[in-house]
Structures are given as structure tokens and as C-alpha cells.
Chains A and B, each alone.
Chain A
């Protein structure tokens, strides 16, 4: 407690010194940029997951042409998974002497587990959003069934053996499948009415769907348990493996932003390392006095670590807020490209910024801070007694492991991480060798130049080691900036190459031959050109064995 107060007292007096301001600024920028990127990525991922969950109306779905074993469902219950079931089949409807082939969907009471249904009570009223399907005794139908069978809302509709009340027009169901089979107009009914209809006979062509939702770990556990037991005709889908992949363009953009933020972190890191070095050197005398007064090595070190921890927390907090704001702006900016509903970031993604801040700060500040531990109390009498510089292994080791961590975090790709690192190290050693050679050359030149030049060059070769370090730091920073520009140009070119100019982006299905010309004409009036019409035919593929 005492140490903490003392640390804060030191910090208060030091807060106006240039190096701490620089250090905080660098850290804030590093944290803000990496938080913005990680929040963005996190929200995109969650959005994709939510969309996938909505698409399945669950976290995981098992489809099967026959009913599945009840002990599967019991196992799901044991794992605290929520469940619902749907069955889909085709049936011919006959009303008012009109025939219509409809896609019947029988839903259990807790359907849908994710997403919502949309219905209308009258033909032209406002859509209503509901989290459940039809009640017992009711059916919801698509509006085209009303006209085809000359029905109106409130009429009974005969399904197999029993009449059900047409209560709502259904306009949207989350897990509507896109296959031709499910293109026939929808009739949705409650599972409780199914047996009374007597439609389903042994041998009827039915698809059964079993939906499950719950914590990711439980879903995964259930999936691993269930998968080996499924028959060839049963299929399993879940939002983690089978979700629509985040667009490759977005993924590339995410990576590019991630790598750019590493560049920012690297530049900030160099600034932090240099500022801390100045800070340490300025505190050699104070440290010697404290050691004289009886402070042990670790006690002195703690005093400074507390200060840096405090600075780190404040700067990271500010950085997180700025990162949050920029990420919000980014979403605003990209609004037209993204789903209307974007998920909130997870708590962990916010925490990530704080962690990055502390890790970056200590990754770059620790080596120069550790020198303070080595300050001898004897310095009080011998002022030129300075501690040894921190070992290069420690300095570069820490910085490089930090970069490896960040790069692999952003790229999620071992090969890419390794190649970036190897290229980086190679350029570092080439640059180091070059600087070393140049400095050696200046020493050879010394006797042949005039006094002013001699002073300058002598200064250069005198502090050879720290000069090379500084040259390397600046070159790396420049290199990183150039790299990031190159990648950006490549990225944009890639995007533009992905699709030919004027590639079609809307499609119309189920256009009958006699409607074709009229449709083309109608669209032309709206200024829309049709690329081409393709015939679609259902067919069965067989394989001959001889």
C-alpha cells in the first residue's frame, strides 16, 4: 500500500515530463487501432454466427428422412440443449374445386429456437414478428394460396382428414430452404394436429428436422457424440462449421487491417522503448538515493513497475474507448455493405484492448526498466557509474515474441506468420550489417575530412551500438509502412479482379416460358437489363453399373 502511494507520488511529479506523455500517446494509438480492428472482426464474426443461427433457426440441426431415436433427444436434454422439431412434406390441397401442391411444414411449439417468423393478419396490414408458429387448430399460409384456392383469412382449410383455421398469412420463415422442392407455397401447422390429419402413412416422403440450441461447448459435445451414430441419409449442420463463410473480401480486409495495426503497434513499441530508456536514465540518480536509503533492488523495481502499470491501464482504457468509437464509425461507413443487424461485440473483445495495452507496454518498456534494478547505490558517490544496458536477447526476444503473438492472432495462419517473421528478420540483419559497415567506413574516412565532419562522424561511431539500434528501429518502421501500402494496393486489385464488370447480382426463378417476354419487357421499362434466361428442369441422375 505504502509502495503504491509512493509510486503514485512519483508519477504525479513525473506526469509532466515529455517521455511519459509520448509513451502514453504511443500506447493509446496502439491500443485504439488494435481494439478497433479486433472489435470489428469480433462483431463481424458474431454477426455471421447469428445469421447462420437464424438460417438454421437453431445452433444445430439434424435432418432425417425418418424419425430419429428418442435417446438422441434424451442425450440433448441431458446436455441442457433446447429442442424443437419440424417436418416437411408435400401435399395436394383441394378447396373450391381448385388443386394446389403445397409444401406443408409441421412445427413443434418451441419452434423457432433462433430467429422469428413474420405474418400478416390481413392481406395489406403491417407485418407482425412472432417467435412461435401456429397454435393447434390453426394454419398459416402463403398469400398465393389464398388466391389460388379462392380462400380468405378465417376460412377453414382441409388438411388430410381435418379442417384447420387459416389464421395468418405467413411472409417469412427463418429456415426456409432454397431448394426447388421447397419452392411450392408454404402451409405451416402445429405438430399437435399432425396425427389427426392422417396424411403421413408409412412410406410417405417426409423430411424431419431436429433443431438444438445451447452453449457452444454443449453443442459441440452433443455433435461429437451424435455424429458417429448417424445413418447415411441423416445429416447434421451447425452454425460453427456450416455457417456461410465470411466473405473472402471481408476476411482479407480484416487481415490487412490486422497487419496494419501490427505496424502501428510496432511503431508505438519503438516509441515506448525509446521513451522508457530516457525515463530510466533520468531516474538513475533517484534510484541510487533510494538504494542508499535502504530500498532493495526489487523494491525499487516495483516502485517503477507500479507507475507503468498505472500508466498502462489509463492509456489502454482511453485507447479502448477511442478504438470503440473508430470501430463504430467503421460500421457506419460500411453500413451499405453489411447486414442490417450487426451483433454487439463480446465482452472478451473489449477486454482484449486492455490486455494488448499492458502487454505492448511491458513488452517494450520492461528491458529499459529492468536496468533500474541494476543501479548501484555507489552511484551516489561515483556519478558516472551507470548500469549495463539491457541484454539484446531480452530486448529483441520480448519484442519478437510479442509480434509473433499479434501476427498469428490476426492472420490465424502459421505459414503467413512465419514468412512475415523470416522476411522481417532477414531485412533486420541485412540492415544491421549495412549500418555496421557504413559506420566502419566512416571511421576510415575520419583522418581525411575537416574538423566539423570529424566531430559528427566521431559521434556516430562512438555510440555505435545504440546508433545501429536506432537506425534499425527507424528502418523497420519505414519498411513496415511500405509493406502495409503494398499489401493495400494488392488487396484492392484483388477485389476488383474478383468479379467481372457488370456481373449479374439479382436472379429471378420460376419464370414460365409464356411469362418470359412480358417479364423482360417489364424490367426493361424499369431500366433493368436481363443478361440471359436459362431453362431449369428437375431430373434424376442415375449411374449404370455395367
Chain B
């Protein structure tokens, strides 16, 4: 009994019998069926699969952005189904970082302010210095006051990385982080991602089409038609 508990504790993410069904005009549509896997702390996992196979949907469930139809997701032993909207928000703030393909910086705020956002939410007094440090770490110390419009795609993605890591999250979810970048810039972002992963012992869960990115992960989960294959 005890060993079973310990066993569960050694995983940071546990997914069991996960289903996601949505109602569309053509009737009910099953996007994910019977998905289950476990992730250890500091592990890096790539979720790959054809377009429409359900990768983004799986990610949104793992991050608590959406609710599953059935099955359980436990993060740090906490079942996401049992948390309400606000509790999941608070979990995201404390434990989880995000990087997306695009549209993720607030167009109203400059680079520094964007990175400070998650810290300001919890009233961190050192928000500014921590954010400056991380922007320096991703090589953008000369772009602090630029708003997203004034930054290149690669620079924007680096700001997003800085913002994702500034709270020292336990897990980082990324959906096609290199999808909008040319291969050189993409390579650079991937390097940064794994460096930060090592430095912070952050668990990485990446959705990607990019084989180079998938290759650098410890493990690969392949989806096809909503099932793990």
C-alpha cells in the first residue's frame, strides 16, 4: 500500500483513461480516447502526431485549461477534475509555465512588463529584478522596453521563454514552440529550452512537429486519431 503511494509520488503527471468528447454540428466527436501515461520530474517528453490527432487538446487538458470528459489527470498527486476554475488558475500560476506557437505576449506591455506579469500576480517584490535577470539569460537585456510589435518572432519567443521560467515552474508546457520560426532561430530556442530545463530541473511536455526537437526529449508519445500508438 505504502509502496503504491510512493510510486505515485515519484510521478509528477499521471494520466489515466483520458477521454475528450465534444459536441459539434455533425454530432458528438471523440478527440481523445483512453489516453494514459506517466511523467517523472525533470523528464522531457515530446507529444507528436499528425495534424488533428489531438495533441493540442491533450496539452490543454494537462494544463487545466479545459476539462476532460472522463478519466483522471493528477499533477503533484492532485486531481485536476476536483479543482474549480480559480483553483486551477492558481495551480497554473505557481507550478506551470507555458510557451505557445504564437499570440502569447500581451501587445500592450513591453518585454519586461510581460515577463513580470506572473510575478506581479502573487505580489512578488522582486518581480522587476527577476524578470530582468531572465531576459538577460535569454539574451534580450537590450530589448527590455520594446513592445511585442517591435520584436522579431524569435525575440518574442525568447520573451515568452523568459516569462515561462521566471516563476521557476515545475512543469513547462509548450505547443509548437518553434512552429513559427526559421530553422536557425528554432534551433536557438530549442537550445535555450533545454538549458533552462537543466538549470531549473523543470519537467518539459512539448507538442511538436519538429523532429529535431522530438529527438532531444527523453521520451516520445505518439498520438494518432486521439489514441496513443
Q: What residues make up the interface of A, taking CB atoms closer than 8 Å to B?
A: 2, 5-6, 9-10, 13-14, 285-286, 289-299, 376-378, 380-381, 383
Contact = CB atoms under 8 A, between A and B. Distances in A.
B120 A381 contact: no
Given A14-B108, A295-B89, A380-B65, 9 more contacts: A6-B117, A6-B120, A9-B113, A286-B108, A297-B85, A297-B89, A377-B65, A381-B60, A381-B65
Contacts of A380: 65, 98, 100, 103-104
Interface in B159-175: 163, 175
A13 B109 contact: yes
A381 B59 contact: yes
Nearest to A283: B108
B17 interface: no
Contacts of B92: 292-294, 377
Nearest to A291: B89
B107 interface: yes
Given A6-B120, A286-B108, A381-B65, A294 B89 contact: yes
Contacts, number: 78
A30 B65 CA distance: 42
Interface centre among A14, A381, A383 (most CB of B within 10 A): A381
- The 7 A-B residue pairs with the shortest CB-CB distance in the complex, in nearest-first order: A294-B93, A13-B108, A294-B92, A296-B86, A378-B65, A377-B65, A293-B118
Given A286-B108, A289-B104, A299-B121, A381 B89 contact: no
B78 interface: no
If over half of A's interface residues share one DSSP class (helix, strand or loop), that class is named, otherwise mixed; here it is: helix
19 contacts: A2-B123, A5-B120, A6-B117, A6-B120, A14-B108, A289-B106, A292-B98, A293-B163, A294-B89, A294-B121, A295-B93, A299-B121, A376-B65, A377-B65, A377-B92, A378-B60, A380-B100, A380-B103, A381-B65
Nearest to B118: A293
A6 B123 CA distance: 11
A373 to B, nearest CB: 10
B43 interface: no
B22 to A, nearest CB: 10
A293 B121 contact: yes
Contact of A378 (B66, B86, B89): B66
Contacts of A296: 85-86, 89-90
A5 B93 CA distance: 19
Contacts of A289: 103-106
A383 B117 contact: no
Contacts of B63: 292
Nearest to B101: A381
